[in-house]
């Protein structure tokens, strides 16, 4: 995000982020602070997927699998399931590492695939992971199958637990607030890494691969490694987010990792602005907050207008959500807050097409 260049601007922005959970709590209630926590988890996920889809141009429809791997790593190593209670600072990095491994596992066989074909394979991969989690309860019970794993250890550093409430100087700080700060710290780290990657040699190599893979290798870019790196980096972010999710929820089950979730994260990236960190963050916030708004507003609004609830708020919510997506894609095809490059691309799309036609025409003459 290039918004807050001046140091005073940065300072004000940081202050807003710091007091935000308390403002939300005071204005909207506890539940909304929890939603803010989820928004941060989704932002991390979306930023991870942004590396794969936005930077490297590899369409991944099974991205939620890495979130699942991170979550289950945390759940299995920090719950009564195996009686293991490893500390967070071991389990979180381990989850990220294992997710990274799965990223390479997905990336390696799909190196030669692009576009639709890659999308199909990644979609299958996401489902495979979910189905495995669903069925790994026999013959040896590892994941506890569809029941999922509960009583997962809270996120904890030493004796300080993010899952408890504390009173400091007569000021009550609840678990949702604490998680907010923890997730915020991780989100800022992910944003920092994303921005650095974008401006690096690796970032330029991803752009080249996204634009033209053959030309990229003619530039001396090791396309195989650079593509694997994109999968690995994206998966790592997903794994971190997953671990935090497991510790936050205290419960994981395979149904949290359905295809719909992958699609949701992809929507955040595309709707917000593929390739632009700020846009992806915006997409993540909107797609977590808007459905919740619909959920809360749909019932009362109907009640007020026609005296009773005709449409189930839950299904209405998806309808509104779908319509919002279509409208955004019609009016802002490059996303709400696109990267300068993508904005240019969309602006130039027509002229490029025209140029290509002329070239073909020239060649025929």
Which residues contact another protein (rule: CB under 8 A)?
Answer: 201, 204-205, 207-208, 211-212, 214-215, 217-223, 341, 344-345, 348, 351-352, 355-356, 358-360, 362-363
| Shortest separation between residue 60's beta carbon and another protein, angstroms | 21
| Shortest separation between residue 215's beta carbon and another protein, angstroms | 4
Q: Which is nearer to another protein, 167 or 350 (CB)?
A: 350
| Shortest separation between residue 347's beta carbon and another protein, angstroms | 9
Asked if residue 301 lies in contact with residue 313, where contact means CB atoms within 8 angstroms, the answer is: no
Q: Which is nearer to another protein, 211 or 255 (CB)?
A: 211
**Residue 81: helix, strand or coil by DSSP?**
coil
Distance CA 145, CA 252 (A): 10
Buried b (16+ CB within 10 A) or exposed e, 84-122: eeeebeebbebbbebbbebbeebbeebbeeeeeebbebb
Q: Which is nearer to another protein, 133 or 270 (CB)?
A: 270
| Shortest separation between residue 357's beta carbon and another protein, angstroms | 11
| Shortest separation between residue 209's beta carbon and another protein, angstroms | 10
Q: Which is nearer to another protein, 149 or 209 (CB)?
A: 209
Q: Which is nearer to another protein, 141 or 341 (CB)?
A: 341
The CA-to-CA distance between both ends of the chain, in Å, stands at 48
Residue carrying the six token digits 């001046």: 6
Q: Which is nearer to another protein, 4 or 344 (CB)?
A: 344
Q: Which is nearer to another protein, 106 or 221 (CB)?
A: 221
Residues with Cβ within 8 Å of residue 207, at least 6 apart in sequence? 55, 341
Q: 150 - beta bridge partners?
A: 251
| Shortest separation between residue 69's beta carbon and another protein, angstroms | 30
| Shortest separation between residue 363's beta carbon and another protein, angstroms | 3
| Shortest separation between residue 274's beta carbon and another protein, angstroms | 13
Can you say how many angstroms the Cα of residue 103 is from the centroid of all Cα atoms in its chain?
15
**Residue 184: helix, strand or coil by DSSP?**
helix
Dump the DSSP string for 180-197. HHHHHHHHHHHHHHHHHH
Asked if residue 179 lies in contact with residue 248, where contact means CB atoms within 8 angstroms, the answer is: yes
Q: Which is nearer to another protein, 165 or 355 (CB)?
A: 355
Asked if residue 272 lies in contact with residue 283, where contact means CB atoms within 8 angstroms, the answer is: yes
| Shortest separation between residue 53's beta carbon and another protein, angstroms | 16
Q: Which is nearer to another protein, 85 or 344 (CB)?
A: 344
Q: Which is nearer to another protein, 118 or 334 (CB)?
A: 334
**Residue 15: helix, strand or coil by DSSP?**
helix
| Shortest separation between residue 352's beta carbon and another protein, angstroms | 4
The answer for 151, left when phi > 0, alpha when psi is -120 to 50, beta otherwise, is left
The enclosing H or E element of 207 equals helix 201-211
Distance CA 257, CA 231 (A): 18
> Among candidates 300, 322, 323, 299, which has minimal Cα distance to 311?
299
Q: How many CA atoms lie within 13 A of 336 on its CB side?
A: 21
């Amino acid at each position: 995000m290039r918004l807050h260049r001046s140091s005073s601007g940065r300072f004000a922005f940081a202050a807003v982020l710091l007091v935000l959970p308390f403002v939300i709590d005071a204005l909207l209630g506890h539940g909304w602070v929890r939603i803010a926590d989820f928004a941060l988890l989704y932002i991390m996920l979306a930023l991870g997927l942004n590396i794969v889809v936005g930077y490297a141009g590899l369409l991944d429809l099974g991205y939620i699998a890495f979130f699942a791997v991170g979550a289950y790593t945390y759940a299995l190593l920090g719950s009564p399931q195996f009686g293991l209670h490893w500390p967070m600072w071991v389990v979180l990095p381990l989850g990220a590492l294992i997710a990274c491994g799965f990223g390479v596992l997905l990336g390696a066989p799909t190196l030669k695939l692009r576009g639709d074909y890659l999308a199909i394979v990644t979609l299958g991969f996401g489902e495979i992971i979910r189905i495995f989690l669903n069925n790994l309860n026999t013959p040896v019970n590892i994941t506890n199958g569809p029941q999922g794993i509960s009583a997962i250890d809270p996120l904890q550093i030493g004796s300080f637990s993010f899952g408890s409430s504390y009173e400091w100087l007569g000021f009550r700080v609840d678990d949702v607030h604490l998680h907010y700060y923890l997730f915020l710290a991780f989100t800022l780290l992910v944003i920092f890494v994303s921005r650095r990657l974008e401006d690096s040699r690796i970032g330029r190599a991803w752009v080249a691969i996204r634009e033209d893979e053959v030309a990229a290798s003619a530039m001396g870019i090791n396309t195989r490694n650079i593509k694997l790196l994109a999968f690995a980096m994206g998966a790592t972010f997903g794994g971190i987010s997953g671990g935090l999710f497991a510790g936050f929820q205290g419960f994981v089950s395979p149904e949290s990792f359905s295809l719909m979730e992958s699609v949701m994260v992809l929507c955040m990236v595309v709707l917000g602005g593929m390739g632009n960190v700020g846009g992806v963050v915006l997409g993540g916030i909107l797609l977590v907050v808007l459905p919740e708004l619909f959920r809360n507003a749909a019932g009362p609004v109907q009640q007020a207008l026609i005296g009773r609830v005709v449409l189930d708020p839950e299904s209405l919510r998806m309808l509104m959500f779908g319509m919002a997506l279509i409208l955004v894609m019609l009016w802002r095809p490059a996303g709400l807050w696109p990267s300068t490059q993508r904005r240019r691309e969309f602006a130039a799309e027509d002229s490029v097409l025209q140029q290509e036609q002329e070239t073909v025409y020239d060649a025929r003459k």
